[in-house]
Amino acid sequence: MKVIIFALTFAITLAITIVFSVKISTIPPLGKFFNPQGGFWANSEREAISAPNLVKLEGLKDEVRIQFDEYLIPHIFAKNDEDLVFTQGYITAFHRLWQMEFQLYSTAGRISELLGDGALDYDRGKRRHGMTYGARKTLEQWKEDPEMFKLIVAYTAGVNAYINGLDYSNYPIEYKLLDYEPEPWSEYKCSLLLKEMSDVLSRGEADLENTNALKLFGRETFDFLFPERPPLKDFDPVIPIGTTFDFEPLEVPEPDTLYPLVFTNPILGKPDPNNGSNNFAVGPAKTGGGALMANEPDLNLNLPSIWYIVHLNAPGINVFGATLPGMPGVIIGHNDSIAWGMTNAKRDLVDWYRIEFRNINRDEYKYDNRWLKTEKIIEEIKIRNGSTVYDTIIFTHYGPVVYDRNFKGNAESTNLAMRWTAHDPGDELKSLYLVNKAVNYEEFTSALQYYFGPPQNFAFASVNGDVAINIPGKFPIKWKEQGKFILDGAKSSHDWIKYMPEDHKLRVKNPPRGFISSANQHPVDSTYPYYTFDYNFEHYRGRRINDRLNILNRVTPEEMMKLQNDNFNYRAFESLPMMLDSLDTTSFDDQKLRVHRLMKSWDYFNNVDSKAASFYELWWKKLYGLLWDEFDDTEVSVIKPHIYNTIHILKNYPNNNFIDIKSTPELENAHELFERSFSEAIDSLNNWVTASGEDYSWSKFKNTRIIHLMRIPQFSVDQISIGGNSNIVNAASGRHGPSWRMVVQLNDQGVKAWGVYPGSQTGNPGNPRYAHMIEDWASGNYYEMLFPVKPLEDPEQILFSQILQPN
C-alpha cells in the first residue's frame, strides 16, 4: 500500500512539474508563467525605466552615456560610430526585443515555428516571393563594403549584448506567453528587415488581376476602368508640372507585345494598398525665413509601434529621429543641418513572367531559342510541435517561380516567376547613414545614389532654407505598359534590360511655388521621358496639401501640424453634391429627410464628432458595392476600379453598362444607384446604431484601433478619438494611419523638432508608460523634442541615465 501511495505521489509530483512547465494549446506553462519571481509578474514595472545605471559590456571600445528624456527617448552620446550603433542596438533591444525578433520571424516565413501549422501557407508565401533570397544576396553585398559592414556588425553585437544579459525572468512578456526564447541577432536579420520594408512598400501591384480583367472585359473597357492618369484638372504630381528634364533618355525597344493571357486564381496576399504617407516642406518664401518640414508615414498601426525614436551623437554625427527596431541609423529625422522625410514613391517594381518549362522535371525553361537552367532551393519550414515541411522553389534568372503546381498555380499550366527589385542587393543602409551625416543638399543627393529601395519621395529641408524632393531607387526602364500585365518569360524582349541612370531620376529643388510635397500620387507628368506606371496612385491627399500650401503664407510650425491633422474629405467634396442632387426627396420619410439635411449641411470635414462623415462612408460603401457588382462573381481575381475613377465615371458616364445592377431585371442608371444605395445605407446605419448602442459620430463609427502584434486585445487600444480617414491628409482609418508625425523647423537659429506617435518607446504592456502617447497623437498634440549637442545637465530633463562601459 505504502509503495502504491509512494509511486502515485511520485507520479503526481512529476506530472505537475512537467505539466506546469509546458505550453498546452494557448495556455502558457502555468508554473513558469505564474512564478512571481520569473513569470509574467516580473514584467510588471513600477517605474517607467528599471535598469542598472552602470553596465559593463563586452564589445564596446569606450564609455557611452545614455540619457532618457521624459518620453523615454534615449539620447546616446558615444565617442565613435561603432559604439554609437552598438548602443543603438542595445537600447532598442532593451525596449523592443520581442517585436524586433517576431517581425522577422514573419519576414523569413518562420511563424509556424512559433504558432504551429496554421501559419504554414503564410510562411510558404513569404519564402516563395523571395524574402530570404533577397536578404541573403543583400548580406553578401554588404560584406564587400567593410567600412559600412563593421557598423552592422557593431549594431548586431549591441543587440546580442542585451540578449546575453537576459534570463527567463526578464524576457519580454510575449516570449512567456508563447513559451520560447530569444535567439541571437545577426547581420542577416538587419538585411531581412530591409526586405520587409520593401515587402510592405514596393510589392504592391495588380499585374495578375489586370491580366484577368483584360481578358474578361477587353481592351477598351479595361482602359475605361483603369486609366493611368486622371484628367489634367485633377492631376497634381510630386514633381510640379512645368519642371523640365534636360537629358537624353535611354531607350528600350518596345516589342510587338502579345501578352500571355492566362487566368490566375487565387492570388498571393498583398501589402495594404493604403500604405502611404505625406511629406511637405516650405522654403523662405513661405515662412519668412528658414524652412519647415513635415512628414508622417501612414502604415498599419500596431503595438509595439513600428518606429523607435532615438538621438545618436558621436564625433561627426548628431542625428535624431525615427528608427526601425532592427536597423542601425535614423530612417526619418534631422541632424544639425538638414531634415528629411519619406513617403512611398509608388512605381510598378514587380513583374510576373510566365515560364515555359521544357518538361515536368522543371530543370530547364525556354528563353528565346535556348533552354536556360533552373535552380532549385528547398525551403525547410519547421512547425511547432510538429514535423518539418519542405517546399521546393524553382528559381529562374527572373527570380522565384512563385505560382506553380505546388502553390496556387493551376496544375502545370501556370508557372509564374517574379521579378522584383527587392530581390537584388542594395546599399540602403549605407545610403541612409550618409544621409544621417549630410549637411547640405549636395551631400544628401550624393548619399541617395546608393539608395535602391523601396523607392521613396525623400523630402529635404536645410537650415539655409533649401527645400527639395528626390525620388531615388532602382528603376528598370520599361517600354509602355511593360509589366502592367503578365509578361512572357520566353521572350528576352520582355526582360528588364536597363536601369535608370542616377541623373535621370526625378528631383526638384526650390521650385517656384516655394514648397515641395508628396503623398503617393503620380510622380510626374508626361513630359518626363520614362514610363512611370503604378496601379494605385493616390488622388486626394496630395491635392489637399498643395491647395493649402498654395494659399498659406508666413507658415509656422503650428500651421504645419494643423495641416498634418487636416480632416478635409476631398473625396466627399467631389462626390457628395452629385449624390445628393440626384435624390428625389418628395417621397422621403422623416429619417431620410433628417439624414438628407445632415448631409446637405456637412462641411466635408471628417472630424471626431461628425455624424455626416459616418453616413457618407456608409453610403459610399453601398454605392461602390452596387456599382461594381460585376466584379463580385468573377471566377478569377480582379480588382475594382479605384475611387477617383469611380466618381469620374458616375459623373461623366451615368448610363454606362457597369452602373446597372446585374441582379435586377431593370437597367439602372447612376440616379437609381444613388437612390438605392441611400436607402440601403439608412438601413445599415439603423442596424449599426442598434447593434452598437452608440451614436454614429465618426470616431466611434470608424473605430481607429492599434492592435498588438499578437492580436491580444488586452495589449491593444481601440476606440481612439481621432478624425480623418484614408484619402484624407490625417490618414487615420480603422487599422491604419500616421505612424510617426514629425515637424522640423530649420533656420539660422538651428534645428528644432516636434513629434508624436501612436504608441510608446517601451514595448512592455506591463510598463506604466505603455501606449502613453496615443491620446496626444489622436488630439494632434506634439512633443517638443530635445536635441542637445552634448549630454544634458539639467536633471529636470533626464528621466533616467545609464552608462555603458567596456568590460
Partner 1 sequence: MASITYFALISLPWWFLVVITFLVSVMLPTNDFGAFLSGFLGIGLLWLVLTWKIDIETNSILSQKIADLFPAGGDTTMLVIVAALVGGVSGGFGSLFGNLLRKIWMKKPKSSMY
Residues that bind partner 1 (CB under 8 A): 2-3, 5-6, 9-10, 12-13, 16-17, 20-21, 27, 30-32, 34-41, 43-46, 167-168, 173, 712-715, 765-768, 770
Question: Is 6 or 370 the residue whose CB approaches partner 1 more closely?
Answer: 6
Closest separation between CB of residue 12 and partner 1, Å?
6
Nearest Cα to Cα of residue 432 among 445, 452, 451: 451
> Would you give the DSSP letter of residue 27?
B
Question: Is 16 or 51 the residue whose CB approaches partner 1 more closely?
Answer: 16
3-state SS record for 728-786: CCCCCCCCEEECCEEEEEEECCEEEEEEECCCCCCCCCCCCCCCCCHHHHHHCCCEECC
Residue 304 preceded by cis peptide, ω within 30: yes
| SS3 of residue 518 by DSSP | strand
Q: Which three cell numbers stand for residue 24?
A: 498546452
Question: Is 16 or 261 the residue whose CB approaches partner 1 more closely?
Answer: 16
Question: Is 13 or 686 the residue whose CB approaches partner 1 more closely?
Answer: 13
Closest separation between CB of residue 801 and partner 1, Å?
23
Closest separation between CB of residue 769 and partner 1, Å?
10
CB-count burial class (<10 Å; 0-12, 13-18, 19+) for 165:
middle
Question: Is 136 or 772 the residue whose CB approaches partner 1 more closely?
Answer: 772
Closest separation between CB of residue 764 and partner 1, Å?
8
Closest separation between CB of residue 190 and partner 1, Å?
31
- Strands 317-323 and 332-335 come out as antiparallel
Question: Is 46 or 219 the residue whose CB approaches partner 1 more closely?
Answer: 46
Closest separation between CB of residue 40 and partner 1, Å?
6
Backbone angles phi, psi at 487, to 5 degrees: -100, 165
Question: Is 3 or 378 the residue whose CB approaches partner 1 more closely?
Answer: 3
Closest separation between CB of residue 43 and partner 1, Å?
6
Q: Point out which residues pair with 54 in neighbouring strands.
A: 803
> Would you give the DSSP letter of residue 704?
E
Output the CA torsion 384→386→388→390 (10° steps).
-100
Question: Is 20 or 628 the residue whose CB approaches partner 1 more closely?
Answer: 20
Closest separation between CB of residue 178 and partner 1, Å?
13
User: Are the beta carbons of 294 and 561 closer than 8 angstroms?
Assistant: yes
Q: Which three cell numbers stand for residue 185?
A: 541577432
Question: Is 41 or 502 the residue whose CB approaches partner 1 more closely?
Answer: 41
Question: Is 173 or 579 the residue whose CB approaches partner 1 more closely?
Answer: 173
Question: Is 6 or 288 the residue whose CB approaches partner 1 more closely?
Answer: 6
Identity of residue 346:
K
Q: Where are the beta strands (DSSP E) in 45-173?
A: 54-57, 64-68, 74-77
Question: Is 163 or 623 the residue whose CB approaches partner 1 more closely?
Answer: 163
Closest separation between CB of residue 1 and partner 1, Å?
12
Q: Which residues contact 442 (CB under 8 A, 6 or more apart)?
A: none
What is the DSSP code string of 193-252?
HHHHHHHHHS----HHHHHHHHHHH-HHHHHHHS-SS--GGG---SSPTT----S-----
Closest separation between CB of residue 72 and partner 1, Å?
15
Closest separation between CB of residue 7 and partner 1, Å?
9
Question: Is 21 or 657 the residue whose CB approaches partner 1 more closely?
Answer: 21
Question: Is 21 or 406 the residue whose CB approaches partner 1 more closely?
Answer: 21
Closest separation between CB of residue 90 and partner 1, Å?
22
For residue 463, CA distances in Å to 282, 469, 478 come to: 12, 16, 38
Q: Sheet containing 54-57: give its strands across.
A: 54-57, 800-806, 64-68, 74-77, 308-314, 317-323, 332-335, 338-344, 456-462, 467-470, 507-509
In this structure, the number of other CB atoms found within 10 A of the CB of residue 178 comes to: 16
User: Are the beta carbons of 618 and 684 closer than 8 angstroms?
Assistant: yes
Closest separation between CB of residue 305 and partner 1, Å?
18
Question: Is 168 or 528 the residue whose CB approaches partner 1 more closely?
Answer: 168
User: What gap in Å lies between CA 83 and CA 138, rounded to an integer?
Assistant: 24
CB-count burial class (<10 Å; 0-12, 13-18, 19+) for 348:
buried
Closest separation between CB of residue 763 and partner 1, Å?
13
User: What gap in Å lies between CA 654 and CA 670, rounded to an integer?
Assistant: 5
Closest separation between CB of residue 717 and partner 1, Å?
12
Question: Is 401 or 717 the residue whose CB approaches partner 1 more closely?
Answer: 717
Cα 419–Cα 425–Cα 428 angle in degrees, nearest 5? 120
Find cell 506617435 and name the residue. Answer: 757
Helix H or strand E encompassing 396: none
Identity of residue 774:
I
User: What gap in Å lies between CA 650 and CA 648, rounded to an integer?
Assistant: 6
Closest separation between CB of residue 111 and partner 1, Å?
20
Nearest Cα to Cα of residue 324 among 425, 424, 431, 432: 432
